[in-house]
């Protein structure tokens, strides 16, 4: 079918360079460049090839953006970058132009072009004006798309601003649940890659608009392509389109610089955020350890109070010496109290001596370290 189309319309071979950018790819690099080809065939009365009419052929590719609703949330549309290939063959003698559009977009892009032609009442417009309409329609959504990217950057910057370290940064404590995490840096990196792809698409458009200007001027010199006034008019409009495309490039490059700075800041802040969370966790663990130490001190004191009586009661219960009648219970209780008090005093004295010795040893060791220093 392709061979039939090319041979029937007598399309020049340069069209295959544009066609190569579409369809299945083994490498995505294949579509990452601008292609513009043109060919002029002068008129001839006869000869070995027979009579030929004057023809002007050109083909190129460019990219545009379209908006489609999100499957998850219809309130947040998704922007997609698309491409289109254009071939035009003008035959001035018969006032006929043959057009071939590759992936024009049935319900979006092509509709905008036909509506503009219908509103202008130019169903039979010059092909140079149609080229201009194709370029303008391709540039229609760039401003809105870049505005959406600007809003997305401001949202990312606001979230990062909450976690910038400062002395009086109340937002850090207020938004503890929305802290920076590793996916945030990946999101910014993805945002930056998207901007680079957008800048490359604008470079393709800018290169082909400039090539179209030079090609139209060359056609004007070679043959009767259009009138001089119309050529100057279309050239001015192409210059305006070039200026508009350059402004889009400047905005995207500015967003790329901002995204790079934000990514560097996030890569610095994320370790700080993790360190802050780790310090907070260690502080809580330290507070819990202090509470447990106080509880253990209380348990130790209670054990020190109850162990001597328990030991004495166990010794009394192991023999029948103290088994007496109830009338002589008083002396036994006195002996129990005396033994308990003596054992408690002995235990307390040993503990006090051990604590005193430990403190003296610690102070002597600290003094030796100070003298060594």
* Domain spans in the chain, listed from the N-terminal domain onward: 2-282, 283-372
Q: How many Å apart are CA 287 and CA 303, to the nearest integer?
A: 24
The token pair that represents 221 in the structure block: 């010199």
DSSP 327: G
- In the prediction, which pLDDT does 178 show? 45
Structural contact between residues 259 and 192, judged by C-beta atoms closer than 8 angstroms: yes
Q: Give tens-digit pLDDT for 202-257.
A: 999 999 999 998 988 888 887 767 778 888 888 899 999 999 999 999 999 999 99
Which of 30-34, 59-63, 229-233, 340-344 tops mean pLDDT? 59-63
Backbone phi and psi for residue 85, each to the nearest 5 degrees, phi listed first: -115, 140
User: How are beta strands 78-91 and 36-41 bridged, if at all?
Assistant: unpaired
Average pLDDT over every residue of 51-61: 84
Please write down the HEC assignment for all residues of 24-72: CCCCHHHHCCCCEEEEEECCECCCCCCCECCEEEEEEEEEEEEEECCCC
Confidence band for 364, pLDDT divided at 50, 70 and 90: confident
Sign of CA dihedral 330, 334, 336, 337: positive
Q: Give tens-digit pLDDT for 155-183.
A: 888 877 766 555 444 444 444 444 555 56
Per the model's pLDDT, the better-predicted residue between 233 and 109 turns out to be: 233
Average pLDDT over every residue of 343-364: 82
Global pTM?
0.67
Count other C-beta atoms under 10 Å from residue 302's C-beta: 10
Average pLDDT over every residue of 124-136: 80
Half-sphere exposure of 239 (CA within 13 A, CB side): 7
Identify the weakest region by mean pLDDT among 71-85, 91-105, 106-120: 106-120
The token pair that represents 199 in the structure block: 């800048």
Average pLDDT over every residue of 93-99: 82
The token pair that represents 193 in the structure block: 């890659």
30 closest CA partner among 1, 61, 65, 66: 61
Identify the weakest region by mean pLDDT among 39-53, 59-73, 98-112: 39-53
Is the pLDDT at 201 greater than 50, yes or no? yes
Backbone phi and psi for residue 147, each to the nearest 5 degrees, phi listed first: -60, -40
Average pLDDT over every residue of 63-91: 80
* Sheet of 55-68, strand order: 36-41, 55-68, 78-91, 96-102
- In the prediction, which pLDDT does 207 show? 93
Q: How many Å apart are CA 166 and CA 109, to the nearest integer?
A: 49
- In the prediction, which pLDDT does 28 show? 57
Q: How many Å apart are CA 57 and CA 42, to the nearest integer?
A: 11
- In the prediction, which pLDDT does 175 show? 43
């Amino acid at each position: 079918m392709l061979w039939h189309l090319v041979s029937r319309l007598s399309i020049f071979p340069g069209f295959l360079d544009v066609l190569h950018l579409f369809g299945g790819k083994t490498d995505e690099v294949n579509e990452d460049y601008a292609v513009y080809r043109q060919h002029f065939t002068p008129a001839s009365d006869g000869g070995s090839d027979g009579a030929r009419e004057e023809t002007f052929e050109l083909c190129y590719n460019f990219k545009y953006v379209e908006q489609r609703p999100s499957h998850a949330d219809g309130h947040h549309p998704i922007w997609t970058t698309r491409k289109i290939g254009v071939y035009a063959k003008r035959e001035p003698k018969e006032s006929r132009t043959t057009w071939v559009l590759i992936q024009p977009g049935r319900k979006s892009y092509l509709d905008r072009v036909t509506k503009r032609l219908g509103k202008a009442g130019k169903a039979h417009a010059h092909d140079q004006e149609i080229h201009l309409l194709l370029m303008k329609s391709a540039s229609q959504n760039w401003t809105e798309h870049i505005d959406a990217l600007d809003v997305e950057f401001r949202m990312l910057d606001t979230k990062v601003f909450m976690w910038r370290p400062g002395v009086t940064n109340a937002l850090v404590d207020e938004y503890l649940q929305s802290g920076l995490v590793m996916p945030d840096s990946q999101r910014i990196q993805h945002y930056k890659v998207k901007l680079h792809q957008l800048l490359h698409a604008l470079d393709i458009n800018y290169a082909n608009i400039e090539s179209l200007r030079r090609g139209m001027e060359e056609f004007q010199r070679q043959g009767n392509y259009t009138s001089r006034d119309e050529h100057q008019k279309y050239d001015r409009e192409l210059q305006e389109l070039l200026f508009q495309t350059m402004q889009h490039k400047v905005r995207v490059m500015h967003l790329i610089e901002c995204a790079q700075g934000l990514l560097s800041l996030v890569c610095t802040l994320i370790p700080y955020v993790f360190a802050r969370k780790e310090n907070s966790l260690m502080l809580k663990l330290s507070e819990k350890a202090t509470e447990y130490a106080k509880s253990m001190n209380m348990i130790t004191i209670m054990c020190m109070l109850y162990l001597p009586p328990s030991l004495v009661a166990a010794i009394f219960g192991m023999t029948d010496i103290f088994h007496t009648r109830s009338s002589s219970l008083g002396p036994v209780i006195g002996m129990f109290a005396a033994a308990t008090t003596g054992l408690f005093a002995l235990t307390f004295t040993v503990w006090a001596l051990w604590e005193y010795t430990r403190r003296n040893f610690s102070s002597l060791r600290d003094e030796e370290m100070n003298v060594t220093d």
